Amino acid sequence: MSVGASDRGAWGKAAEDCRSLRRWRDCKRSSNFREVLECGSPLPLSERSIRLRSAKRVPGAARPFLTGLCCVMLSAVALSKPTAPLPDSTLAQIEFDQRPGTQISPDLTFTDEEGQAVQLNKYFGTKPTILLLGYYECPMLCAMVLNGLIESLQDIRSNVGKDFEVVDISIDPRETPSLAAAKKRSCLKRYGRDGAAAGWHFLTGSEENIRKISAEVGFHYVYDPISKQYAHPSGFVVLTPDGRISRYFFGLQFPARDLYAALQAASTRSIGSRIEQLVLLCFHYRPITSKYGALIMGTVRVLAVATVLTLAWLIIGMARREKTLGLGALASPSASQSPCAELAGGDASAPRESSL
């Protein structure tokens, strides 16, 4: 059966498109970029395709804004001034003075983790006491001191609450009983022995009482408003049942044998002698010598500048790539728009007879 007039018209249109496509491909092989652009596309593009391909060039228009943003960030990094840290003379005075035999004031009032006002004499009387000073939101050594103490307590036969008391006092007057309660739950969970809740206490208090007990223990500290941290030594003391200092422990690890012996000696109201101490300063990243402060700040600034430059390079590169892809898309027809399914196989200009 013969092909109708409408079919011949459709096939004629397809053949014309194929011939246009051949001319476009020959033009595309030209080395002159202007000629390639003038060739255009052999097939009409829909309004939606033109709109989408034009949108790909938007990142190029935003390039001045991105460049300005990078300049502002680089200026901020370059002009930033290093903050003034605590002077070395102040840090050198932060230590744990040993005062064996000193009586801790039993009438000092603090607030426990339940929000109740308590005096220290509540924890004195018949059992020795481990006394720690620090603060509950400390990001550095305070948690390590507690962890070291818990590990030692797990290795001795004596139990918190039954054989001795543990009292933690925050040196930060801004901390609240809710923080103390959270710290207590964390420590009790790790300690893992029954009955410890009744013998492990976490206290907060006023600036005056904190200063007083710190002076009695020999615990020196200072607040740094720039880092918003306290610089203080690490360690704790063991008190006799009547509240006198019996033994000092320094560092982060505390041998279980030494701790057990200290608790036994304190229970008999024995006063130990001064020991050689290793003071670890709890104060953000700076050691007491402060010799690495400038190096660290310089490294941070170099890394910040490198990060900004890398981001700027990636953004500009992506914008250029999208613009290039947009020009290429305008110069090439989509597969769905081309009716020349047999372009490589033969001439599509002649209509075929239907077999029906």
Classify residue 61: in a domain, yes or no.
Answer: no
Q: Are residues 28 and 167 in the same domain?
A: no
Distance (Å, whole) CA 340 – CA 351: 13
Residue 48 has pLDDT above 90, yes or no: no
Q: Which residues contact 273 (CB under 8 A, 6 or more apart)?
A: 100
Q: Which of 232, 234, 223 is nearest to 85 (CA)?
A: 223
CB 36 within 8 A of CB 331: yes
Q: 3-class DSSP state for residue 65?
A: helix
| Residue 84, token pair as written in the block | 């003034």
Residue 178 has pLDDT above 90, yes or no: yes
Edge-to-edge strand order for the sheet containing 229-233?
222-224, 229-233, 281-282
Domain that holds residue 190: 88-289
Q: Are residues 164 and 263 in the same domain?
A: yes
The reported pLDDT for the residue numbered 77 is: 47
The reported pLDDT for the residue numbered 63 is: 56
Q: Are residues 122 and 250 in the same domain?
A: yes
Q: Which of 255, 250, 259 is nearest to 279 (CA)?
A: 250
Q: Which residues contact 198 (CB under 8 A, 6 or more apart)?
A: 161
Q: Are residues 151 and 278 in the same domain?
A: yes
Distance (Å, whole) CA 221 – CA 232: 4
Instruction: Tell me what the pLDDT averaged over the chain comes to.
Output: 74
In angstroms, the Cα distances linking 204 to 19, 118, 119, 134, 290 are: 89, 10, 12, 10, 31
Classify residue 250: in a domain, yes or no.
Answer: yes
Residue 33 has pLDDT above 50, yes or no: no
Q: Are residues 96 and 227 in the same domain?
A: yes
Residue 143 has pLDDT above 60, yes or no: yes
CB 246 within 8 A of CB 134: no
Provide the pLDDT confidence category of residue 84 given band limits of 50, 70 and 90: low
More confident site: 32 or 121 = 121
The reported pLDDT for the residue numbered 234 is: 84
Of the three residues 267, 289, 311, the one that is the final residue of a domain is 289
Q: Which of 157, 181, 171 is nearest to 223 (CA)?
A: 171
Task: List residues bridging with 249 in a β-sheet.
Answer: 236
Of the three residues 265, 289, 313, the one that is the final residue of a domain is 289
Q: Are residues 164 and 231 in the same domain?
A: yes
CB 94 within 8 A of CB 289: no
Q: Are residues 281 and 338 in the same domain?
A: no
| Residue 187, token pair as written in the block | 């420590």
Range 263-286 burial, b when 16+ CB lie within 10 A, else e: bebbbeeeebeeeebebbbbbeeb
CB 93 within 8 A of CB 220: yes
Q: Which of 220, 216, 207 is nearest to 283 (CA)?
A: 220
Give tens-digit pLDDT for 238-296: 999 999 999 999 888 899 999 999 999 999 999 887 765 544 444 443 434 444 445 45
The highest-confidence range among 35-49, 90-104, 140-154, by mean pLDDT, is 140-154
Classify residue 92: in a domain, yes or no.
Answer: yes
Q: Are residues 285 and 345 in the same domain?
A: no
Q: If you count DSSP H runs as helices and E runs as strands, how many of each does the chain have, helices first?
A: 11, 10
Q: Are residues 166 and 221 in the same domain?
A: yes
Q: What is the domain-level CATH number for residue 166? A: 3.40.30.10
Classify residue 239: in a domain, yes or no.
Answer: yes
Provide the pLDDT confidence category of residue 233 given band limits of 50, 70 and 90: confident
Classify residue 28: in a domain, yes or no.
Answer: yes
Residue 195 has pLDDT above 80, yes or no: yes
The reported pLDDT for the residue numbered 80 is: 46
Q: Are residues 270 and 348 in the same domain?
A: no
Classify residue 305: in a domain, yes or no.
Answer: no
Q: Which of 155, 92, 109, 134 is nearest to 237 (CA)?
A: 134
Q: Tokens 């500290």 identify what position?
A: 221
More confident site: 21 or 327 = 327
The reported pLDDT for the residue numbered 194 is: 92
Q: Are residues 106 and 214 in the same domain?
A: yes
The answer, as to whether pTM is greater than 0.85, is no
**H or E stretch covering 246:** strand 245-250
The reported pLDDT for the residue numbered 306 is: 82
The reported pLDDT for the residue numbered 239 is: 96
Distance (Å, whole) CA 52 – CA 39: 21
Number of folded domains in the chain?
Answer: 2
Apex CA 187: angle with CA 182 and CA 189, to 5°?
Answer: 95
Classify residue 12: in a domain, yes or no.
Answer: yes
Classify residue 232: in a domain, yes or no.
Answer: yes
Provide the pLDDT confidence category of residue 101 given band limits of 50, 70 and 90: very high
Q: Which of 188, 195, 185 is nearest to 163 (CA)?
A: 195
Of the three residues 230, 261, 289, the one that is the final residue of a domain is 289
Q: Are residues 105 and 197 in the same domain?
A: yes
